[in-house]
Amino acid sequence: MNPDRRRFLRNVGLASAGVVGASILPLRGQSSGPSAAHGGTQDFNMCGYGAPPLERVRIAILGLGMRGSQALRRLRHIEQVDVVALCDVRQEQLDKALAQLGASGPRPDVYSGSEDAWKRACDRDDVDLVYICTPWALHAPMAVYAMEQGKHAAVEVPAAQSIEECWQLVETSERTRRHCMMLENCCYDFFELLTLSLARAGFFGEIVHCEGAYIHNLIDLNFNRTGYDRMWRLEENSRRNGNLYPTHGLGPIAQVMNVNRGDRFDFLVSVSTADFSMNVHAKELAEKDPFFAAYVDRPYRGNMNTTTIRTHHGRTIMLQHDVSSPRPYSRIHLVSGTRAMARKWPRPGRISVGENWLDETEMKTLEEQHTPELVRRVGDLAKQIGGHGGMDFIMDWRLIDCLRNGRPLDQDVYDAASWSAIGMLSEQSVAARSSAVDVPDFTRGAWQQNAPVNLSLDGVGTTRVRGA
């Protein structure tokens, strides 16, 4: 290793002792302002807000499909959590959930039998947090209703399906002073947390450009008659054309760039390919099963969508979405700065200084110096408990610990709104021959003062894990 490179690595190791991340640029101008329909004054700033602490967190889970049943299993490992209510329109899903709980311990009440049964769970006086794992179209209505009933809302991705729904989430959270966190688990994956810690220490220099994606071949699952209730995810893919699922790739790099906390999304342009797979697959299935005849010759979204976002301070983000091509899974997660860069896929994740990748020993040194306290506290436990390699459990534990200690959340309602909005805005751009589309400022200018995400446990981290 040459002397200049060795000196640089030694210096960035010292940076973690308290240097403010170089990715936080000085302010250069004012916000372009919010949507005129929603006024220019923020009712209450939920960024940095810590709600009154809860000794125990009592939870109602809405939706017991793939994500909801997995959340139930993970949450049971946290000692200061009581799951008091479960809800699903399908009784068989509730039966499976109850069987998963076994015979020991208190049994949650169950709600089913109608499309509005979930409201009765939200109405309970003994619920602090509503954990929403339903189809996309129900996310925002359920989160808004939960907050109106005085509950915090944790909602699966994406949090909304229209810009108006994004504003509803923001304005309801501000008015009720209840948290609305989108459950973007990828923000808590190990390499993503490492790069966020490195960015805070100034390792990358000025962040110039980031890339994220959701490239995951789901064509068989989306066309599986038992995969999603009433084929809802296939329906989404057959009527919308854009980046339908932006937040897995976007969330972690938005945090690295301090979006809504020192910078903001300004505008985007988006382009989609034609559909080369989904109609072909529908026709092949229809030849064997008449059920799929209804899915032939639909306007399916293009295989690959590429969206480019420019921030107020002049950084760029390239975001991709493809769930119907035979490609290896990737969220890319590329962070490029003036001094160094990182890229997670193809795995293993790697970091370079200048034009040279760090070797295994250098990577280990960086990890030892910059692994966040959060990972040191629960990372090994998370790998044992599971959930996408452990990131789901880190997310759940962190959420509960913040609520119990009256601490601001890492992801607030402005993140839920702005990250989700990219989906709808990409559709608008694609429909307008890839014209530029402005991104609303859901913080109404508060991004200029909001503090970056703080991964430190700050002397808390008191939430216990069963079996630990």
Q: What is the CATH number of the domain that holds 325?
A: 3.30.360.10
pLDDT digit of tens for each residue in the chain (468 aa)? 554 555 545 554 444 333 333 333 332 233 334 455 786 789 899 999 999 999 999 999 999 999 999 999 999 999 999 999 999 999 999 999 999 898 777 899 999 999 999 999 999 999 999 999 999 999 999 999 999 999 999 999 999 999 999 999 999 999 999 999 999 999 999 999 999 999 999 999 999 999 999 999 999 999 999 999 999 999 999 989 999 999 999 999 999 999 999 999 999 999 999 999 999 999 999 999 999 999 999 999 999 999 999 999 999 999 999 999 999 999 999 999 999 999 999 999 999 998 899 999 999 999 999 999 999 999 999 999 999 999 999 999 999 999 999 999 999 999 999 999 999 999 999 999 999 999 999 999 999 999 999 988 876 788 999 866
Say if residue 200 is in the same domain as residue 159: no
Q: What is the CATH number of the domain that holds 85?
A: 3.40.50.720
Say if residue 277 is in the same domain as residue 374: yes
Say if residue 139 is in the same domain as residue 228: no
Say if residue 367 is in the same domain as residue 444: yes
Residue span of the structural domain in which 437 resides: 186-448
Q: Is residue 14 part of a domain?
A: no
Q: Is residue 312 part of a domain?
A: yes
Q: Is residue 436 part of a domain?
A: yes
Q: Which of 404, 381, 405 is nearest to 392 (CA)?
A: 381
Say if residue 428 is in the same domain as residue 300: yes
Q: Is residue 15 part of a domain?
A: no
Pair of tokens at residue 59: 């939870």
91-96: long-range contacts (C-beta < 8 A, 24 or more apart)? 93/64, 93/65, 93/68, 93/69, 94/64, 96/64, 96/69
Say if residue 152 is in the same domain as residue 229: no
Say if residue 197 is in the same domain as residue 236: yes
Q: Is residue 385 part of a domain?
A: yes
Q: Is residue 370 part of a domain?
A: yes
Say if residue 302 is in the same domain as residue 435: yes
Say if residue 136 is in the same domain as residue 206: no
Say if residue 100 is in the same domain as residue 214: no
Q: Is residue 32 part of a domain?
A: no
Say if residue 128 is in the same domain as residue 247: no
d(CA 451, CA 260): 9
**Of 129, 151, 185, the domain-final residue:** 185
Q: Is residue 21 part of a domain?
A: no
d(CA 241, CA 58): 39
Say if residue 297 is in the same domain as residue 222: yes
8 Å CB contact between 359 and 251: no
Q: How many domains does the chain have?
A: 2
